[in-house]
Structure 1
Amino acid sequence: MAYFPMFIDVKGTAVAIIGAGDVALRKVKVMLEYEAKITVIAIDVSDEIWKLEKEKKIIVRQKAYDEEDIKDAALVIAATNDTTLNKRISAYCKEHRIPVNVVDVQEECSFIFPAYVKQGPITVGVTSSGASPVISQKIKKMVMNTLPDYYGELADSLGKVREEVQKKIDTEKERKQVFKKLIAIGEERKGRISYDDLEEVLKKK
């Protein structure tokens, strides 16, 4: 069975992570990259997670887990070393339709984390749907070796002129042609494009 690829905006979204060891820390760092509002629930908390809490990047509740901790969460990640507890968290989330990831236990998950490459606003996600994480990591490295290191900057600048293109160009076909020309300029320059570049392209259209 293949998993359906879906990208969601988690900026400011309440994410509960149960567990505060090395595995939980990895998930915290991933979610911070996408600006989620993270609460970690655990009795034993690693120094690195406390450091993030002191920097006001996350909230830590040093306590035993109970269902009240996750009832308002939009996403839940179970990252404890207690199999029974992880199953209990998964069952509660599925019953209440809260997306849940139980680290390294696919059958308990309603969503899984892909291997991914992030560069500015660009994210490329790869999954083998749990069949082989090793091949997912191999494909990730192939993407990293192929994707030019300035593409994130280029995508960001294209996003900034997008509204102007939509205002000035009526048809989708013509807009695509304009963006293709802007991308070519960015590739030649190995970086971002500007409003001046857009004006030049529009003059020659």
Structure 2
Amino acid sequence: MTSRLFPLFLDLRGRAVLVVGGGEVARRKIAALLDSDAAVQVVARALHPAVQAWVDAGRIAWRARDFADEHLDGAWLVVAATDDRAVNATVAAAAAARHLYINVVDDADLSSAQVPAVIDRSPLQIAISSGGAAPVLARQLRERIEAMLDDTLAPLAALLQRWRERIRTRLPHLPTRRRFLESLQHGAVADRLRQQRPDAAEAELARALDAADTAPRGFVSIVGAGPGDPGLVTLKAQRRLQDADVILHDRLVPRAVLALARRDAELIETGKQAGHHHTAQDAIHALMREHADAGKRVVRLKGGDPFVFGRGGEELEYLRAHGIDYEVVPGITAALACAAHAGVPLTHRDHAQSVRFVTAHCKASLDTLDWQALAQERQTLAVYMGVAGLAALRERLIAHGRAPGTPFALVENGARPDQRIVLGTLADLPARARAHAVQSPALLLLGEVAALAADLHWFGAAPLGAPQAAAPDDGAAMAHAA
């Protein structure tokens, strides 16, 4: 695995940068360095006409000779831009000996510094790097992002730079200040900049700052994190993670999803796992209230969807009772994600006309279920439960008429890189789970459609095993479907 680069912006104003080479490639590098007001020194036998013009204009210094180690004296950064790899390697070795960073054009192995593809909305800049592995891909991505960015970003950034201290003084409370700054891109200030009226934009900024609320009101977003794949997190959920001051997240929310949050957000794990006691629900309520009362934007981040066995309703009741403003951002629940990634349609015209979402974590919850209804055929059961309860589930379903040959698909870590699917029939459900050491998080899909995973799976490893037989009344239909 290639080591990860550390992204860094350099202030090269007035600082010496040595460029070895004077051709077209060197010209492009020198142009970017001049834009940064670097003191460019070029070592080359011959120069590109544009480079010669910079020399003639006194913008860069030129030594018309071959590279020598003493040319590195006083340099802060080195660029090797010749078409001779041996020369570039010599320059790289000399720079390394002096602990100088060097960029060797189109040669990642010799480089200790990479020049990214840049989106320039000065003073705002966005840099994209592939670590030298795929510069064309980085440039293509830059072009896509360029097309998405508003033309007001540069003047807005410059305006905020001038007003930074006044804004900090007027709004010392960080969450209030952040909300105020985020509101500017879509309000009257940005509108005036789009109209090419910078003075009017500055006047709007002054009015908005005078009216800014210094006593912020907290807000809680109950957000569904989806099944664990960051690609399945909704756009609105990503925005809330970027806006949040505090994120109270379940244990099973993976790091890849948490990485979507703003860097300085406070992350607090509040997960509960079957068989273990972590943060009690009352304590989660107290945390939401504590941070909301402090004027912070709080995200309560839940795996799957907040309103499908996620206690989202209880949390909304608590927030409403305490006068805290809230919203709900739905997520893709585990049953939908696991079924889709296992190739199991939850409903199917030939096999299942309904689907039931069921939770059964303990004996007490098992006793509350309508087993007669759950045991009906031609429906799919999506069972959220600890794997320890599979034996009791099987016994009660069979006792109430569900056929022992009903297919199941047990999906462990659904929609994640380590997803596993175990197939079988209801009769051997506990034994199959034990044989393959299935662990939480796992979701059970039970019904005639589960057998389709044997042929329709597409994500991750192939299913382990296959249904032994379909339910008696649907055996011919299942054989036809397979």
TM-score for the superposition, normalised by structure 1: 0.93
Match of 1:109 in 2: 111
TM-score for both structures, normalised by structure 2: 0.41
In structure 1, how many angstroms separate the alpha carbons of the residues matched to 2:205 and 2:14? 33
Tell which deviates more after alignment, 1-10 or 43-52: 1-10
Gap regions ≥5 residues in structure 2: 213-482
2:171 is aligned to 169
Alignment partners' CA distance in 2, 1:13 and 1:135 = 31
The percent identity for this pair of structures is 26
What's the counterpart of residue 142 of structure 1? 144
**Displacement of 1:174:** 2.0
Residue number in structure 1 paired with 2:131: 129
2:191 to 177, 188, 191: 188
Larger Rg over CA atoms:
2
Secondary structure in structure 1 of the residue aligned to 2:66: coil
SS at match of 2:41: strand
Aligned counterpart for 1:199 among listed residues 202, 206, 212: 206
User: Aligned equivalents of 1:120 and 1:158: distance in 2?
Assistant: 12
Q: Which moved more, 1:138-147 or 1:175-184?
A: 175-184
User: Aligned equivalents of 2:77 and 2:143: distance in 1?
Assistant: 28
1:157-189 Cα distance to aligned partner (Å, 9 max, x none): 111111111222222222212222333333323
Residue aligned with 1:118, SS: strand
| Gaps in structure 1 of 5+ consecutive residues | none
Distance in 2 of aligned mates of 1:55 and 1:146: 37
Matching residue's letter, 1:125: A
> When you count helix as a share of all residues, which structure comes out higher?
1
- Alignment of structure 1 residues 32-111 onto 2, 5 Å: 32-111=34-113
Paired amino acid for 1:56: G
Runs of 4+ in 1 over 4 A off after TM superposition: none
Give the secondary structure class of the aligned counterpart of 2:18.
Answer: strand
> 1:101 Cα shift?
0.8
For 1:136 and 1:24, the matched residues in 2 are separated by 20
User: Which residue pairs with 2:276 in the alignment?
Assistant: none
1:8 deviates by 1.8
CA contact (8 A) 1:79 1:86 kept: yes
Q: 2-side partners of 1:130 and 1:49: how far apart?
A: 25
User: 2: CA distance between counterparts of 1:56 and 1:143?
Assistant: 36
Aligned position for 2:159: 157
2:32 to 30, 33, 38: 30
Whose RCO is larger (CA < 8 A, sep 6+)?
1
* 1:59-110 CA distance string (max 9 Å, x none): 1121221111112100000111222111111011112110001111111000
Q: Specify the code of the residue in structure 2 equivalent to 1:178.
A: F
Q: Which letter maps to 2:209?
A: L
Q: In 1, distance between residues paired with 2:206 and 2:50?
A: 48
